[in-house]
Structure 1
Amino acid sequence: MVDIYGLMTRDESNRITLDTSVTPIRSLKMLTVTGDGSYNQYFSLPDIKANSFVVVDSLFVTTGSNWSPQAFWTEGQLHLRGAGTRQWQVMILSNGTEPFSAIGEYGLRSKNNGILNQVDSVNRVLAIWYSGSFEFGVYWRPGMRAEISGGFYYSFPEPVTTFERPLVFLNAEDYMMVSGFYVTGQPGNWTGWGISHAGIYYQYHGLPVSDYMKMKWFLASYQARISAAGSYDVLLRGGSGNRIFKSTDNLALLNSQPSNNSFYNDGEPIEAGATYHSSSRMPWTSSFGDYVLANALFSHTNIQQTQNPIIINWGGFLPGNRSIIKMYAQNYANSPATGISANGRTLFAARPMRNL
């Protein structure tokens, strides 16, 4: 018999709710940085390690979409391009390989055969709050959750009260091309999420416009949800009484993280009247079960040096192919930012610990 080290909990249905042999996504540190208006800006962040990965996310809301700067990082340094003068949320994430060195933390720590598994006030897990499915298409039909033309919006039954925006992960049964990602609300009171553009890209990939993208998604937060009456669970709180972990929560698990500049130009740009769409790609996981983080990848991009600085950044998965993720950036024909690519978008692949 193989020796097993660690901790496992189950609920009243005998489902495993905590297993220390499984390492979920963790947050080492959350902080904010503020742009100074320069096109390229660099921040010294010693907390970014060689095996870290970084999510740079918006903290403000605009009608129909949010925009994000391009973000690149190396060990100890964050590089933002086109950040303007706004404040940005920076989440430095890891997969649980840090030493147990912090003092004055609250939570639970265990170690399983060299896999560090930490649940505490610093190394927090992503709890899945909401999930669902919907269809996108050019032509609306009864039953589709399309509240704006070509778009989708979901209002949270209960607001997410974290300072940072909750993270939304997208997947599809097959083909997926989306853009215009946004979250409604404000820090401490996030109320919903949506996509303002989708279903208009079929023609670029040879698909009939009557086809529908069959989408699925889940939303995860670093805040544990309130337990239902009569539930079986372990609940951990931080020093301020905030809920940091609940064993009945379904967790978002890290599956793969690309390097931060894995996109490269590939293929001819798509020309559409006065605009063209530069084409890029990066390797993906080859698994249809993996979701992609939408927060920065599918939001609009600020390239700042043109008359139309906010451009549409769109992409997803080509039919029958999960070996790559395909991205396009819309550029105006008279723009000096010819050939801008999707490099620097912050993303990673994840999947739920338990079936949704």
Structure 2
Amino acid sequence: MADLYGLRTRDAFGAITLDTTITSVRSLKMMQVAGNGGFDQYISIPEIQAASFVVVDALYNGSDLTYTPPAWATPGQLQLRQPGTLTWQVMILSQGGEPFAAPGSYGIRASNNSIRTQIDSVNQVLTVRYSGGLNIGFQGPGSANQIQYGNVTFPQPITTYERPLIFLNAENYMMVGNFFVTGTPGNWTGFRIKAYNHQGAHGDTALYPMTIKWFCASYMTPNTTVDMYGASVRDASGNRTFVTTANLALLNGQPANNSFVNAGAPITGISYYASSAQMGWTGSYSDYVLANALFSCTNVVQTTQPIRTNYGGFLPGRRDVLQMYCENFDGVNPLSVNGRTLFASRPMKPI
């Protein structure tokens, strides 16, 4: 057995709240970039590393037609396709282990058998704010009751300028799209998704309800509750950047790839076409998928159908693949969902 090094904390009930031998807590950097109106825009961001997770998200509420531009990240650079002239939120999650940001920064860092953990006084960590469940889609064969939309209202608005991150999972089948977060910067109130059931493509499972679990994660807020156990880190202004009372959004088990390939059969019908794309997933039913960019629409400015819906999720009985579709009613110049930024997560504590 390999030696283990690092830090472990427990709460008043003896439950582990932080364990650097099993958890990789990754730092979060957030920034805004303005679209330049071009077809492809390249932005220098030195903080992006080869192993970074980069999420490009909207900062507005456009209801069902809220869109995000396809985005690709390479070390030191972000590429946006048809970003328009809107301002976009960029979130960079790292594996930890980078040098602390500047003289006077402080925090904790641990390494355990190649698992690196860094919690510092500058970068924030993702914590679970709210969680719950949804039942949407067809309600059984022959049922006239179809719940097309899933609507969630948070117990209290989330007051970050950035949209909170919404993660989705399901007991089995899940095909959703038209995702958007309700509210405005500084007052995010909930989110909405739409069910897409395709019996012809996915079998009779598509006739039954989609039992979906979700959680909402955002960075730490200054008034986060603490107790007498564990560890806490503050920045130079006294704001907490980490506390073990919070439920961390873990980022350990990521898929081997972070891009899609054109695979699987398209969904076709009268005046309807949706191209198919897939990527290998984690294989675990415990992993949630980030909804923010993946299940929102794409804006294809030069076409007669500029706003196109991306929808998808989990095929019946499978977690080895993430299935996505991009609608294109006339079937001409179909798009794939490449460039939709995403990652897997699960809560550290049960929800």
Contact kept? 2:72, 2:79, Cα under 8 Å: yes
Q: Which amino acid aligns with 2:164?
A: P
CA 1:297–1:290: 2 relative to 1, 3 Å: same
Amino acid at match of 1:64: D
Specify the alignment match of 1:240 in structure 2.
237
1:291 alignment partner in structure 2: 288
**Structure 1 residue 73: deviation in Å?**
1.6
- Alignment partner of 2:334 out of 327, 339, 342: 339
How many Å separate the matches in 2 of 1:252 and 1:10? 17
Would you say the 8 A contact 1:118–1:124 is kept in 2?
A: no
* Aligned counterpart for 1:189 among listed residues 159, 180, 187: 187
> Which position in structure 1 is the counterpart of 2:8?
8
**Which is worse superposed, 177-186 or 94-103?**
94-103
Does residue 352 of the first structure (1) align with residue 347 of the second (2)? yes
Give the SS at the match of 1:268: coil
In 2, are the aligned partners of 1:317 and 1:325 still within 8 Å (CA)?
yes
TM-superposed CA distance for 1:23, in Å, is 3.5
Distance 1:77 1:322, change over 3 A: same
Aligned-residue sequence identity (percent) comes to 52
SS class of match (2:161): coil
Give the whole-Å Cα distance in 1 for the aligned partners of 2:313 and 2:201: 13
Cα deviation per residue 1:153-189 (whole Å; 9 max; x = unaligned)? 1111122222221111111111110001111122222
Report what 1:143 is aligned to. Answer: none
For the residues of structure 2 that align with 1:87 and 1:155, how far apart are their CA atoms? 25
The residue identity in structure 2 corresponding to 1:41 is: Q
Q: Which amino acid aligns with 1:328?
A: Y
Q: Flag the 1:247–1:180 CA change in 2: closer, same or farther, 3 A.
A: same
Structure 1 stretch displaced more, 179-188 or 106-115: 106-115
2:299 to 280, 283, 302: 302
Q: Describe the shift of the 1:7–1:69 C-alpha distance in structure 2 as closer, same or farther (beyond 3 A).
A: same
CA shift for structure 1 position 239: 2.8
What's the CA shift string for 1:171-223, capped at 9, x where partnerless? 1111110001111122222111121x204334431226641111111111112
Q: Quick one: distance in 1 between partners of 2:9 and 2:188?
A: 31
The TM-score, its normalising length taken from structure 2, stands at 0.90
**2:132 corresponds to 1:163:** no
Q: 1:112 to 1:263 in 2, by over 3 A?
A: closer
> How far is the alpha carbon of 1:26 from its aligned partner?
2.1
The runs of 5 or more residues in structure 1 that have no matched partner are: 141-145
Do the aligned partners of 1:55 and 1:347 also contact (CA within 8 Å) in 2?
yes
Q: Deviation of residue 240 (structure 1)?
A: 3.4
Q: Which amino acid is 1:169 matched to?
A: F
Contact 1:81/1:303 (8 A) holds in 2: no
User: Compared with structure 1, are the counterparts of its residues 116 and 310 closer, same or farther at alpha carbon in structure 2 (3 Å cutoff)?
Assistant: same
Q: Is the 8 A contact 1:314 1:327 kept in 2?
A: yes
**Conserved? CA contact 2:248–2:347, under 8 Å:** yes
Residue matched to 1:330: 327
Q: CA deviation at 1:283?
A: 0.8
Q: Retained in 1: the 8 A contact 2:67–2:296?
A: yes
Structure 2: which amino acid aligns with 1:82?
Q
Is 1:69 paired with 2:66? no
Output the amino acid matched with 2:314.
F
**Is the 1:128–1:250 Cα contact (8 Å) retained in structure 2?**
yes
* Post-superposition offset of 1:89: 0.8
Structure 2: which amino acid aligns with 1:177? M
Unaligned runs of 5+ in 2: none
1:1-356 mapped onto 2 (5 Å cutoff)? 3-100=3-100, 102-112=102-112, 115-139=115-139, 150-195=148-193, 197-207=194-204, 210-224=207-221, 226-228=223-225, 232-254=229-251, 255-260=253-258, 262-333=259-330, 335=332, 338-356=333-351
**CA 1:22/1:95 → structure 2, altered by over 3 Å: closer, same or farther?**
farther
Residue 31 (structure 1) shift: 1.3
1:54-102 Cα distance to aligned partner (Å, 9 max, x none):
1111111112352111001211111111211111111121122323453
Matched position secondary structure for 1:49: coil
Identify if the C-alpha distance between structure 1 residues 236 and 52 changes in structure 2 by more than 3 Å, giving closer, same or farther: same
Kindly provide the amino acid, as one letter, of the partner of residue 321 in structure 2: I
Alignment TM-score, normalising by the size of structure 1? 0.89
Indicate conservation of the 8 Å contact 2:17/2:245, yes or no. Answer: yes
**Aligned-pair Cα RMSD in Å:** 2.5
Contact 1:39–1:304 (CA under 8 A) maintained in structure 2: no
Q: How many equivalent pairs are there?
A: 346
Query: What is the CA–CA distance in structure 2 between the aligned matches of 1:75 and 1:297, rounded to whole Å?
Result: 21
Distance 2:257 2:226 in 1: 43
Shift, 1:49, TM fit: 1.4
Instruction: Give 1:25 deviation, angstroms.
Output: 4.4
